[in-house]
Amino acid sequence: MYEFDWSSIPGALPFLAKGMLVSLEIMVAAVVIGIVWGTLLAMMRLSSIKPLSWFAAGYVNTFRAIPLVMVLLWFFLIVPHLLEQLLGVPRGTDMRLGSAIAGFALFEAAYYSEIIRAGIQSVSKGQMAAASALGMNYWQSMRLVVLPQAFRNMVPLLLTQGIILFQDTSLVYVSALADFFGTASKVGDRDGRLVEMLLFAGAVYFVLCFSASQLVRFYQKRLKTA
Protein backbone atom coordinates (compact mmCIF):
# COMPACT_ATOMS: atom_id res chain seq x y z
CA MET A 1 0.00 0.00 0.00
CA TYR A 2 1.22 3.49 -0.89
CA GLU A 3 2.41 5.48 2.13
CA PHE A 4 1.74 9.19 1.94
CA ASP A 5 4.47 11.55 3.09
CA TRP A 6 3.58 15.25 3.18
CA SER A 7 6.85 16.40 4.74
CA SER A 8 8.20 17.84 1.48
CA ILE A 9 5.35 20.35 1.08
CA PRO A 10 6.47 22.99 3.65
CA GLY A 11 9.88 23.29 2.02
CA ALA A 12 8.28 23.57 -1.41
CA LEU A 13 5.96 26.46 -0.49
CA PRO A 14 8.32 29.27 -1.65
CA PHE A 15 8.61 27.63 -5.09
CA LEU A 16 4.86 27.04 -5.24
CA ALA A 17 4.23 30.68 -4.31
CA LYS A 18 6.34 31.83 -7.26
CA GLY A 19 4.41 29.47 -9.50
CA MET A 20 1.12 30.86 -8.20
CA LEU A 21 2.29 34.39 -9.05
CA VAL A 22 2.90 33.26 -12.64
CA SER A 23 -0.58 31.71 -12.82
CA LEU A 24 -2.19 34.87 -11.42
CA GLU A 25 -0.18 37.07 -13.76
CA ILE A 26 -1.39 35.08 -16.76
CA MET A 27 -4.98 35.15 -15.50
CA VAL A 28 -5.12 38.89 -14.77
CA ALA A 29 -3.45 39.90 -18.04
CA ALA A 30 -5.64 37.52 -20.08
CA VAL A 31 -8.83 38.74 -18.36
CA VAL A 32 -8.05 42.42 -18.97
CA ILE A 33 -6.98 41.95 -22.60
CA GLY A 34 -9.73 39.40 -23.23
CA ILE A 35 -12.49 41.70 -21.95
CA VAL A 36 -11.23 44.68 -23.95
CA TRP A 37 -10.83 42.68 -27.18
CA GLY A 38 -14.03 40.74 -26.45
CA THR A 39 -15.97 44.01 -26.07
CA LEU A 40 -14.74 45.21 -29.46
CA LEU A 41 -15.64 41.85 -31.00
CA ALA A 42 -19.13 42.00 -29.48
CA MET A 43 -19.69 45.49 -30.85
CA MET A 44 -18.47 44.39 -34.28
CA ARG A 45 -20.72 41.35 -34.12
CA LEU A 46 -23.72 43.60 -33.50
CA SER A 47 -22.66 46.19 -36.05
CA SER A 48 -24.70 46.77 -39.20
CA ILE A 49 -21.43 46.83 -41.17
CA LYS A 50 -21.38 43.32 -42.60
CA PRO A 51 -17.57 42.84 -42.99
CA LEU A 52 -17.07 43.70 -39.30
CA SER A 53 -19.89 41.39 -38.27
CA TRP A 54 -18.56 38.55 -40.41
CA PHE A 55 -15.02 38.99 -39.08
CA ALA A 56 -16.20 38.92 -35.45
CA ALA A 57 -18.44 35.90 -36.04
CA GLY A 58 -15.62 34.04 -37.81
CA TYR A 59 -13.15 34.86 -35.04
CA VAL A 60 -15.48 33.71 -32.27
CA ASN A 61 -16.55 30.51 -34.02
CA THR A 62 -12.95 29.62 -34.92
CA PHE A 63 -11.53 29.98 -31.42
CA ARG A 64 -14.51 28.26 -29.81
CA ALA A 65 -14.00 25.28 -32.11
CA ILE A 66 -10.29 24.79 -31.25
CA PRO A 67 -9.01 23.19 -28.00
CA LEU A 68 -7.24 25.68 -25.74
CA VAL A 69 -4.18 23.46 -25.37
CA MET A 70 -3.73 23.51 -29.15
CA VAL A 71 -3.92 27.31 -29.22
CA LEU A 72 -1.27 27.50 -26.49
CA LEU A 73 0.99 25.15 -28.44
CA TRP A 74 0.60 27.24 -31.58
CA PHE A 75 1.56 30.42 -29.76
CA PHE A 76 4.44 28.71 -27.97
CA LEU A 77 5.86 27.37 -31.24
CA ILE A 78 4.94 30.11 -33.73
CA VAL A 79 4.98 33.48 -31.92
CA PRO A 80 8.71 33.43 -30.98
CA HIS A 81 9.68 32.74 -34.62
CA LEU A 82 7.43 35.55 -35.88
CA LEU A 83 8.89 38.02 -33.39
CA GLU A 84 12.42 36.98 -34.37
CA GLN A 85 11.69 37.60 -38.04
CA LEU A 86 9.47 40.69 -37.80
CA LEU A 87 10.94 42.56 -34.82
CA GLY A 88 14.45 41.16 -34.69
CA VAL A 89 14.05 39.67 -31.23
CA PRO A 90 17.28 37.77 -30.39
CA ARG A 91 17.03 34.02 -30.90
CA GLY A 92 16.72 32.12 -27.65
CA THR A 93 14.82 34.89 -25.81
CA ASP A 94 12.40 33.36 -23.32
CA MET A 95 8.96 34.38 -24.56
CA ARG A 96 6.95 31.61 -22.93
CA LEU A 97 5.10 33.94 -20.55
CA GLY A 98 4.23 36.44 -23.29
CA SER A 99 3.14 33.66 -25.62
CA ALA A 100 0.95 32.13 -22.91
CA ILE A 101 -0.70 35.47 -22.13
CA ALA A 102 -1.34 36.16 -25.82
CA GLY A 103 -2.79 32.69 -26.36
CA PHE A 104 -5.08 32.87 -23.34
CA ALA A 105 -6.19 36.44 -24.05
CA LEU A 106 -7.11 35.83 -27.69
CA PHE A 107 -8.81 32.53 -26.85
CA GLU A 108 -10.80 33.90 -23.92
CA ALA A 109 -11.82 36.98 -25.91
CA ALA A 110 -14.06 34.72 -28.00
CA TYR A 111 -15.94 33.63 -24.88
CA TYR A 112 -16.00 37.10 -23.33
CA SER A 113 -17.37 38.40 -26.62
CA GLU A 114 -20.43 36.16 -26.38
CA ILE A 115 -21.02 37.14 -22.74
CA ILE A 116 -20.71 40.83 -23.57
CA ARG A 117 -22.91 40.52 -26.66
CA ALA A 118 -25.64 38.94 -24.54
CA GLY A 119 -25.20 41.72 -21.98
CA ILE A 120 -25.54 44.41 -24.64
CA GLN A 121 -28.66 42.77 -26.04
CA SER A 122 -30.15 42.65 -22.53
CA VAL A 123 -30.26 46.47 -22.47
CA SER A 124 -33.49 47.90 -23.81
CA LYS A 125 -33.29 49.16 -27.39
CA GLY A 126 -35.02 52.28 -26.17
CA GLN A 127 -31.78 53.28 -24.46
CA MET A 128 -30.00 53.33 -27.79
CA ALA A 129 -32.84 55.30 -29.39
CA ALA A 130 -32.78 57.82 -26.54
CA ALA A 131 -29.00 58.27 -26.90
CA SER A 132 -29.41 58.75 -30.64
CA ALA A 133 -32.12 61.37 -30.01
CA LEU A 134 -29.60 63.27 -27.87
CA GLY A 135 -27.22 63.44 -30.84
CA MET A 136 -24.86 60.62 -29.91
CA ASN A 137 -23.38 58.42 -32.61
CA TYR A 138 -23.23 54.61 -32.37
CA TRP A 139 -19.89 54.44 -30.54
CA GLN A 140 -20.79 57.21 -28.09
CA SER A 141 -24.12 55.54 -27.34
CA MET A 142 -22.37 52.25 -26.69
CA ARG A 143 -19.62 53.74 -24.52
CA LEU A 144 -21.73 56.13 -22.45
CA VAL A 145 -25.16 54.52 -22.27
CA VAL A 146 -25.34 50.85 -23.24
CA LEU A 147 -22.04 49.34 -22.05
CA PRO A 148 -22.20 50.71 -18.46
CA GLN A 149 -25.62 49.08 -18.02
CA ALA A 150 -24.58 45.90 -19.83
CA PHE A 151 -21.43 45.43 -17.74
CA ARG A 152 -23.46 45.73 -14.55
CA ASN A 153 -25.54 42.77 -15.72
CA MET A 154 -22.51 40.84 -16.95
CA VAL A 155 -20.16 41.12 -13.96
CA PRO A 156 -21.09 37.74 -12.38
CA LEU A 157 -20.60 35.91 -15.70
CA LEU A 158 -17.34 37.73 -16.40
CA LEU A 159 -16.02 36.82 -12.95
CA THR A 160 -17.09 33.19 -13.39
CA GLN A 161 -15.26 33.05 -16.70
CA GLY A 162 -12.22 34.47 -14.91
CA ILE A 163 -12.36 31.58 -12.42
CA ILE A 164 -12.50 29.11 -15.31
CA LEU A 165 -9.52 30.89 -16.88
CA PHE A 166 -7.54 30.51 -13.64
CA GLN A 167 -8.20 26.77 -13.71
CA ASP A 168 -7.13 26.62 -17.35
CA THR A 169 -3.78 28.28 -16.60
CA SER A 170 -2.58 24.81 -15.56
CA LEU A 171 -2.45 24.00 -19.29
CA VAL A 172 0.67 26.13 -19.74
CA TYR A 173 2.62 23.01 -18.79
CA VAL A 174 2.76 22.37 -22.57
CA SER A 175 5.31 25.21 -22.80
CA ALA A 176 7.22 24.07 -19.67
CA LEU A 177 6.32 27.37 -17.99
CA ALA A 178 6.72 27.28 -14.21
CA ASP A 179 3.16 28.10 -13.20
CA PHE A 180 1.63 26.73 -10.00
CA PHE A 181 0.69 23.33 -11.43
CA GLY A 182 3.94 23.00 -13.38
CA THR A 183 6.00 23.90 -10.31
CA ALA A 184 4.11 21.39 -8.17
CA SER A 185 4.74 18.68 -10.74
CA LYS A 186 8.46 19.47 -11.00
CA VAL A 187 8.95 19.63 -7.24
CA GLY A 188 7.05 16.37 -6.83
CA ASP A 189 9.31 14.68 -9.40
CA ARG A 190 12.40 16.07 -7.71
CA ASP A 191 11.41 14.89 -4.24
CA GLY A 192 9.87 11.62 -5.35
CA ARG A 193 6.51 12.75 -3.96
CA LEU A 194 4.54 13.53 -7.11
CA VAL A 195 1.25 12.10 -5.80
CA GLU A 196 1.30 14.21 -2.64
CA MET A 197 2.32 17.36 -4.49
CA LEU A 198 -0.39 17.01 -7.14
CA LEU A 199 -3.01 16.29 -4.48
CA PHE A 200 -1.89 19.41 -2.62
CA ALA A 201 -2.03 21.47 -5.83
CA GLY A 202 -5.52 20.15 -6.56
CA ALA A 203 -6.65 21.09 -3.05
CA VAL A 204 -5.28 24.64 -3.49
CA TYR A 205 -7.09 25.02 -6.81
CA PHE A 206 -10.31 23.76 -5.22
CA VAL A 207 -10.13 26.09 -2.22
CA LEU A 208 -9.34 29.17 -4.31
CA CYS A 209 -11.91 28.48 -7.03
CA PHE A 210 -14.65 27.40 -4.64
CA SER A 211 -14.09 30.49 -2.47
CA ALA A 212 -14.12 32.77 -5.52
CA SER A 213 -17.30 31.17 -6.86
CA GLN A 214 -19.02 31.68 -3.49
CA LEU A 215 -18.03 35.35 -3.55
CA VAL A 216 -19.45 35.67 -7.07
CA ARG A 217 -22.69 34.04 -5.92
CA PHE A 218 -22.90 36.42 -2.97
CA TYR A 219 -22.30 39.39 -5.25
CA GLN A 220 -24.97 38.13 -7.65
CA LYS A 221 -27.52 37.98 -4.84
CA ARG A 222 -26.61 41.50 -3.73
CA LEU A 223 -26.99 42.66 -7.32
CA LYS A 224 -30.51 41.25 -7.55
CA THR A 225 -31.61 42.90 -4.31
CA ALA A 226 -29.99 46.25 -5.11
For residue range 200-211, list pLDDT tens digits in order. Answer: 999 999 999 999
User: Does 3 fall in a domain?
Assistant: no
* pLDDT on residue 88: 66
pLDDT above 80: residue 41: yes
Mean pLDDT in residue range 177-203: 90
Mean pLDDT in residue range 37-66: 91
* pLDDT on residue 141: 80
Q: What is the pTM of this model?
A: 0.86
User: Does 2 fall in a domain?
Assistant: no
Which residues touch 126 (CB under 8 Å, ≥6 apart)?
none
User: Does 6 fall in a domain?
Assistant: no
pLDDT above 90: residue 96: no
Find the CATH number of the domain harbouring 185: 1.10.3720.10
Domain count for the chain: 1
140 is in which domain, residue-wise?
12-225
* pLDDT on residue 175: 77
pLDDT above 80: residue 138: no
Reference 43, options 106, 154, 119, 105; nearest CA is 119
* Chain-centroid distance, C-alpha 50: 28
Average pLDDT, the chain: 86
Integer Cα distance of 206 and 57 in angstroms:
34
Integer Cα distance of 143 and 134 in angstroms:
14
* Chain-centroid distance, C-alpha 80: 21
User: Does 150 fall in a domain?
Assistant: yes
User: Does 175 fall in a domain?
Assistant: yes
Reference 120, options 164, 154, 144; nearest CA is 154
pLDDT above 90: residue 28: yes
User: Does 106 fall in a domain?
Assistant: yes
The backbone region for 89, taken as left when phi is positive above 0, alpha when psi lies in -120 to 50, beta otherwise, is beta
Give the Å distances, CA to CA, from 192 to 8, 13, 48, 222.
9, 16, 60, 47
Reference 168, options 16, 26, 49; nearest CA is 26
pLDDT above 80: residue 226: no
pLDDT above 80: residue 197: yes
Which among 109-113, 133-137, 140-144, 174-178 has the top mean pLDDT? 109-113
Mean pLDDT in residue range 109-128: 86
User: Does 84 fall in a domain?
Assistant: yes
* pLDDT on residue 25: 93
CB 141 within 8 A of CB 132: yes
DSSP single-letter state for residue 100: H
How confident is residue 220, by pLDDT bands cut at 50, 70 and 90?
Answer: confident
pLDDT above 90: residue 107: yes
